[in-house]
Structure 1
Amino acid sequence: MADVAVDNSAPADPLPSTEKKSVLTDDLMEEKNQENQPAAEGEGATGGDSNVYRYTKGDLFTSEIFKVEIQNLPKYIGFNDLKKFLNKHGISPHKVKLFSKQMFAFVTFKNQEERDKAMKAVHGMQWKNKVLSVRLAKPKADPILKKRKQEEETEGVQPDAKRAAGSKEVEEESLNIQIANAVTPLWNVPYKEQLKRKQQEVEDILQKLTREIGNNNKAMLPWLFVQKEKCNKMCCPLEPIQPSPVQMEYRNKCEFVIGVGADGEDKTVGFRLGKYKGGSCAVVSPTETSHVSSEAKMVVQAFQQFIRTTPYAVYSPETYEGHWRQLTVRTCRTKQTMAIVFFNPQKLQEEELEELKRNLRHYFTDGDGKESGITSLYFVRMGQRTSAGTEDLPCEHVSGDECIHEELLGLKFRISPHSFFQTNTPAAEVLYSAVGEWAQLDEDSTVLDVCCGTGTIGISLAKRVKKVIGIELCQEAVEDAKANAEANGLTNVEFHCGKAEDVFPTVLNAVVSPNVTAVVDPPRAGLHSKVILAIRRAEHLKRLIYVACNAKAAMNNFIDLCRAPSNRVRGAPFRPVRAMAVDLFPQTMHCETILLFERVDYSSSTDSQTQQNPEN
């Protein structure tokens, strides 16, 4: 499921982000500190350091202050090996970061008691002929403070705060190029060449999948040998990439960060030039970005004008002070526009917040912001422990309609603030049309639409089949999906709310249709292993269409679908028979990949020969 977030924490990465984290101090720290380096580069024994993160010295909880370094680990162990080892000895870490080549790991805990217990238990313990040692560890140096210190040492002058965010002396043209390179890195590459690169990347992924299938299911080797000869070392034919019908201004949802501009202007709404861990929080207006719609740019400009008239500061990811955090804009073909304002109240009184919302309402309904065309306005309060854009925060309706409505493949779809909907509507039509063609459906078919969002895939197929069953985590999206089915006059569609790994096995076991096809369109991390195991066990499920917004991240899912039967993985394996890329994200390296998997049929002579002696 590819809700590609042009997000606030990085250069508008067009990678899908449908499942966002909701805990600020540890999970924003994860963004800041996800590339931990060995102790020699700033992380080691506890001690004073002016460059450590400020939140470790404030009132906010972070497991970073309960952190240890385990040294002298055995060679060739993996993350799961270390976690199982710790659990076996009654140790429950909050997070584990393993450096297997250097044979050490950083481990954090939820409190000092658990940390001290772990240090006492593990220090001196022997594991695979290695005697482990444990020492306290400190957070990595804050990238922004570290960068300032380096600048000060290099230039011999004290850099001011605004110069850390960006210099006013940087030319506007240069900034436009920098932000284009950050959010749309292929903006200056001819579109045919973009498609060629994406086609090649998918081909590389399929070649890797071919090798992995061979490693995990020896019985498929004869079949793979034939496929590789026919398909350029791939396990299945790769059809030509399908281009996006539009290459400019195609995004119907964008998330804009609010911060200090790279030109020194305070309260700037746009995209960051870099990540916090890179030492920059500079924000650049989206005015010249090619993938953002003109409607969204109008909203950004109007909103920026509004917040500059208020006394409230922008939120600082460095100090955790300030208020304005993010603006999300959703647009559609029907010329409706939704704006969602993310605001950190800090210690403001309720009366002040209500006055702010009244001012927002007046500005966009009767004031200067009216021309921006907002038809639906929401306000989201964000606490110190929540990250911007999180999907589970309540949205307060401020003015206008509660939803916007999109048209896709001749159908109508209602979209709420948190609901998933593909960010490139014309290209989504190409994607869903391909899914419908590949599914080979008839009037006796049952379609299982997993991670269905607002029900777009299932609803687009409903008139061809007996029944559609959708599964979706977001309650708001499920309500939209139900309303969408009703609005399109469909009575053979039902939706279930919950985690796919919890709901899918029950739903699948209840289906008795002779022709069952599953369509899965999960977040970039892929499906939970429980869902894959349920799919493998359900022998009556013969066909699976996997829509991957990040095929590399979904590789383990692909492998598990095809691996040999075992005590853990029961049921006949699948094998890929068809693949195609659809470009939903022009000007970036990302695309959607469709893979059609079919169950190996033991009743046929060919398959029965290739599947003898399954591995245990």
Structure 2
Amino acid sequence: MTDVTADKNDPAGSLPSTDNEPDDLMEEKNEENQPAATAEGEGAASDVYRYIKGDLFTSEIFKVEIQNLPKYIGFNDLKKFLNKHGINPHKIKLFSRQMFAFVTFKNQEERDKAMKAVHGMQWKSKVLSVRLAKPKADPILKKRKQEEETEGGPPGAKRAAGCQEVEEDEEEPLNIQIANAVTPLWNVPYEEQLKRKEKEVEGVLQKLTREIGNNNKAMLPWLFVQKEKHNKMCCPLEAIRPSPVQTEYRNKCEFVIGVGADGEDKTVGFRLGKYKGGSCAVVSPSETTHVSSEAKRVVQEFQQFIRTTPYAVYSPETYEGHWRQLTVRTSRIKQTMAIVFFNPQKLPEEELEELKRNLRQYFTEGEGKESCITSLYFVRMGQRTSAGTEDLPCEHVTGEECIHEELLGLKFRISPHSFFQTNTPAAEVLYSAVGEWAQLDQDSTVLDVCCGTGTIGISLAKRVKKVIGIELCQEAVEDAKANAEANGLTNVEFHCGKAEDVFPTVLNAVVSPNITAIVDPPRAGLHSKVILAIRRAEHLKRLVYVACNAKAAMNNFIDLCRAPSNRVRGAPFRPVRAMAVDLFPQTMHCETILLFERVDYSSNTDSQTTET
């Protein structure tokens, strides 16, 4: 997976309801599972496949099942295998225990090409077979159909938001439900939260230890010693560093707009569940602990505004309606950005311009003025827009074009789509640890991969000779350049592009006795091309890996440490230090820092490289 923008490291912020189930980013009802509003007449609600009959894109039409897969493969293994043979799937759903997978494509040509290429192919002594697969049933309509069959009639009138049936006498209060959904550890003492997260990272390191042994036999003697020292882990795990603040810490929240679980139309907040689970009921964030009071105020004022308009909320079930999402970004210097996502449908341009004028007037002169918005944007979302919103153009409505933040005594500019850690005080803890572990001096060159607005590299720039940042999002790169200039730095440069395309070229051009790479990639980790480039660059001796999901980055860790081969050239790395930093209190998520150092084969003891 290539870099993503916006909230690439944020397990709880890339979608209106990702705070609900962070582990399923990009799964909130992607367009391949979205029903089109095409069925008519009685019985339409029970046609669980009606969405594929419309003229809107859905990859479910171009779906195959690959059978007889090898045992013990993972999602990334299958994706790499398909990519290696020139196959680019739109979506993969792997069932490793049953040794099969569903794979969808963007068109019939790509599907047929894949079927022809893969059917009969041998992979790890298994002969693969491919057949056409049935589309996935729409989860909402499937649930309703089951209810009708069970009850012998149409669903009851208690269904909230037209999507979820609510048995009032069995449900907990909505504030408890939403707390359980978005901050599942809200009622767990903070010390206990930290212990759980540290235990989770310990399990990841123990698994990594086993994987290193399986993929690099030369490291077994070293691993044996490490396991004895560090409770079956390949390196010491330092005490987790807590977040300086445990409540109201999020500086960016994305709120869905829909019908409330309490029946209130045009509600702005979080979903109680996910569409694929049969739910699209929305609950206000007013009593959530992780959302700032500033963001809650914007939500309340915005909700009042949209309830005065004639435009309906967007329905993920029928594709009808307009209001879709509200993103709120705040900073410690009391600046607030609001980004309104709206589906124009077939509204004339002059009507949209009038709506934007009304928004501007409401937040600058009307009742919304109390929310103190300093930057307001309007984004048009089309029918085909699903999980990713980072590529959509933002129309500036009023106020400043950016907000600004202070971090470690430095100033940072943040644009609508730019990535910036969502917990600023905890990010200071994280970046301070990264700087400490990187072992830098005035001769050092730092490669800041997936750098966002440049926060890590800029925070280290005064301690090193040069910082080179790489980032996919052009908007973030412009911010990073402006941030370097605002902080008086002249030894920093930034390159825009996919890390897998830019990094090898940049790395080969660097001539320095002390190169340290710091990588802070998306949740899925770095592209394998980046890992291979790191391995080949023997002059790169040290790597600090910041993982927002250490489990998802496991393949990266393994490739850094595996034995050299025709594919993986260059001496391997070893993990020598690890630590968790809590950026997401009240949830099970945290950042994990791992320090990798190159194995020094010139040493008779096969020891680690030492500090330069």
Q: TM-score, normalised by structure 2?
A: 0.88
Is the contact made by 2:35 and 2:50 (CA closer than 8 Å) also made in structure 1? no
Q: Percent identity at matched positions? A: 91
CA separation of 1:291 and 1:166: change in aligned 2, threshold 3 A: farther
Does 116-125 or 62-71 show the bigger shift? 116-125
Change (3 A) 1:43 1:493: farther
| Per-residue Cα deviation, 1:581-604 (whole angstroms, up to 9, x for no partner) | 100000000000111111111222
Q: Is residue 326–residue 389 contact of structure 1 (8 Å, CA) maintained in 2?
A: no
Q: Distance in 2 between matches of 1:414 and 1:11?
A: 22
Gap change, CA 1:40 and 1:196, over 3 Å in 2: farther
Corresponding residue number in structure 1 for 2:445: 446
Contact kept? 1:404, 1:414, Cα under 8 Å:
yes
Q: 1:455 to 1:277 in 2, by over 3 A?
A: same
How far off its partner does 1:41 sit?
A: 25
**Residues 562 and 360 (structure 1 numbering): CA distance in 2 closer, same or farther, change over 3 Å?**
same
Q: Judge which range, 105-114 or 516-525, deviates more.
A: 105-114
Secondary structure of 1:578's aligned partner = strand
State whether residues 161 and 280 of structure 2, in contact with CA within 8 Å, keep that contact through their aligned partners in structure 1.
yes
- Aligned-pair CA distance for 1:156: 4.5
Is the 1:524–1:549 Cα contact (8 Å) retained in structure 2?
A: yes
Taking the aligned partners of 2:122 and 2:233, their CA distance within structure 1 comes to 45
Tell me the alpha carbon deviations over residues 30-80 of structure 1, each in whole angstroms, 9 at most, x when there is no partner: 644899999999999xx9994434431211022212334456678778778
Cα gap change, 1:341 to 1:190, in 2 (>3 Å):
same
Which shows bigger deviation, 145-154 or 30-39? 30-39
Match of 2:499 in 1: 500
Q: Say what the alpha-carbon RMSD is for the aligned residues.
A: 5.1
Alignment map for 1:455-604 (pairs within 5 Å): 455-604=454-603
Cα shift at 1:224: 0.8
Change (3 A) 1:507 1:127: closer
Q: Is the 8 A contact 2:36 2:50 kept in 1?
A: no
Asked if the contact 1:3/1:18 (under 8 Å) is kept, the reply is no
Distance in 2 between residues matched to 1:168 and 1:523, nearest whole Å: 32
- Given the superposition, is the C-alpha separation of residues 274 and 4 from structure 1 closer, same or farther in structure 2, using an over 3 Å criterion? farther
Distance 1:167 1:84 in 2: 37
SS in 1 for 2:165: coil
State the Cα distance separating 1:128 from its structure 2 match: 10
Instruction: Indicate conservation of the 8 Å contact 2:550/2:592, yes or no.
Output: yes
Residues 111-158 of structure 1 deviation map (CA, whole Å, 9 limit, x = unaligned): 446656777898899999999876543322221112222333444452
Residues 243-285 of structure 1: per-residue CA shift (max 9 Å, x gap): 0000000000000000110001111000000011110001000
Asked if structure 1 preserves the Cα contact closer than 8 Å seen for 2:45 and 2:141, the reply is no
CA distance in 2, matches of 1:350, 1:41: 25
Cα deviations by residue, 1:459-506 (Å, 9 ceiling, x for unpaired)? 111111111111111111111111111111111111111111111111
1:8 matched to which residue of 2? 8
Q: What whole-Å deviation, never above 9, does each CA across 1:194-223 have from its counterpart, x for those lacking one?
A: 000001111111111111111111111111
Distance 2:594 2:266 in 1: 44
Counterpart residue number, 1:141:
137
Contact kept in structure 1, 2:518 and 2:546, CA below 8 Å: yes
Cα deviation for residue 104 of structure 1 reads 4.5
Seen in structure 2, the aligned counterparts of structure 1 residues 132 and 118 have a Cα distance that, compared at 3 Å, is: same
Structure 2 vs 1, CA of residues 426 and 98 (structure 1 numbering), >3 Å: closer, same or farther?
Answer: closer
> Does the 8 Å contact 2:14/2:254 carry over to 1?
no
Tell me the distance in 1 between the aligned counterparts of 2:122 and 2:234.
44
Distance 1:200 1:189, change over 3 A: same
> 1:275-315: CA deviations, max 9, x gaps?
11110001000000000000000000000111111111111
Rounded to whole Å, the distance in 1 between the matches of 2:49 and 2:541 is: 52
Aligned equivalents of 2:383 and 2:9: distance in 1? 16
Q: 1:39 to 1:104 in 2, by over 3 A?
A: farther
Q: Contact conserved, 2:3 with 2:450, CA < 8 A, in 1?
A: no
User: 2:258 touches 2:324 (CA, 8 Å); kept in 1?
Assistant: yes
The alpha-carbon deviation at position 99 of structure 1 amounts to 3.9
* Cα 1:160/1:6, change in 2 over 3 Å: farther
Is the 1:166–1:261 contact (alpha carbons within 8 Å) kept by the matching residues of 2?
no
Post-superposition CA distance 1:557-586 (Å, at most 9, x none): 111111111111111111011111100000
Offset at 1:364?
0.3
Deviation at 1:2? 15
Distance 1:101 1:188, change over 3 A: closer
1:367-413 deviation digits (Å, cap 9, x = unpaired): 01000110000000111111255111110000000000000011100
Question: CA–CA distance in 2 between the matches of 1:100 and 1:198?
Answer: 27
Distance 1:108 1:27, change over 3 A: farther
* Corresponding position of 1:295: 294
Q: Which moved more, 1:110-119 or 1:425-434?
A: 110-119
Structure 1 portions without partners, runs of 5+: none
In structure 2, C-alpha distance between the alignment counterparts of 1:505 and 1:95, rounded to whole Å: 28
* Alpha-carbon offset, residue 159 of structure 1: 2.8
Structure 1 contact 561–574 (Cα < 8 Å) conserved: yes
Give the secondary structure class of the aligned counterpart of 1:42: coil
Structure 1, 410-419 or 113-122: larger mean CA deviation? 113-122
| Paired residues of 1:257 and 1:327 also in contact (CA < 8 A) | yes
Alpha carbons 1:5, 1:17 under 8 Å: kept: no
Judged with a 3 Å threshold, the aligned counterparts in structure 2 of structure 1 residues 54 and 7 are, in CA distance, closer, same or farther, namely farther
Structure 2 residues without counterparts, runs of 5 or longer: none
CA distance 1:8–1:178, change in 2 (3 Å): farther
Distance in 1 separating the partners of 2:9 and 2:556: 28
Choose 179-188 or 150-159, whichever is displaced more: 150-159
1:521-577 deviation per Cα after TM superposition (whole angstroms, max 9, x unaligned): 111110111111111111111111101100001111111111111111111111011
Contact 1:63 1:111 in 2 (8 A): yes
In 2, Cα distance between equivalents of 1:451 and 1:19? 23
Q: Matched residues in 2 for 1:187 and 1:117: separation?
A: 49
Q: Verify the 8 A CA contact 1:14 1:588 in the aligned structure 2.
A: no
Paired residues, what number?
Answer: 606
* Cα pair 1:357 1:379 within 8 Å, conserved: yes
1:325 and 2:318 matched: no
**1:513 offset after TM fit, Å?**
1.1
Report the Cα distance in structure 2 between the residues aligned to 1:341 and 1:442, rounded to whole angstroms: 45
**Could you tell me which residue of structure 2 aligns to residue 396 of structure 1?**
395
CA 1:286–1:205: 2 relative to 1, 3 Å: same
Residues 152 and 221 (structure 1), Cα distance of their counterparts in 2 relative to 1, 3 Å cut: same
Which SS does the other structure have where 2:589 is aligned? Answer: coil
CA distance in 1, matches of 2:149, 2:555: 46
* Shift of residue 518, structure 1, vs aligned partner: 0.8
Counterparts of 1:286 and 1:367 in 2: how far apart (Å)?
23
SS of the residue corresponding to residue 29 of structure 1 reads coil
CA gap of 1:503–1:300, structure 2 versus 1, over 3 A, is: same
Residues 15 and 562 (structure 1), Cα distance of their counterparts in 2 relative to 1, 3 Å cut: farther
Separation of aligned partners in 2, 1:572 and 1:591: 30
**Cα deviation code 1:413-471 (max 9, x no counterpart):** 00000011000000000011111111111111111111111111111111111111111
8 Å Cα contact 1:267-1:308 kept in structure 2: yes
With normalisation by structure 1, the TM-score equals 0.87
Q: Cα 1:30–1:203, aligned 2, differ >3 Å: closer, same or farther?
A: closer
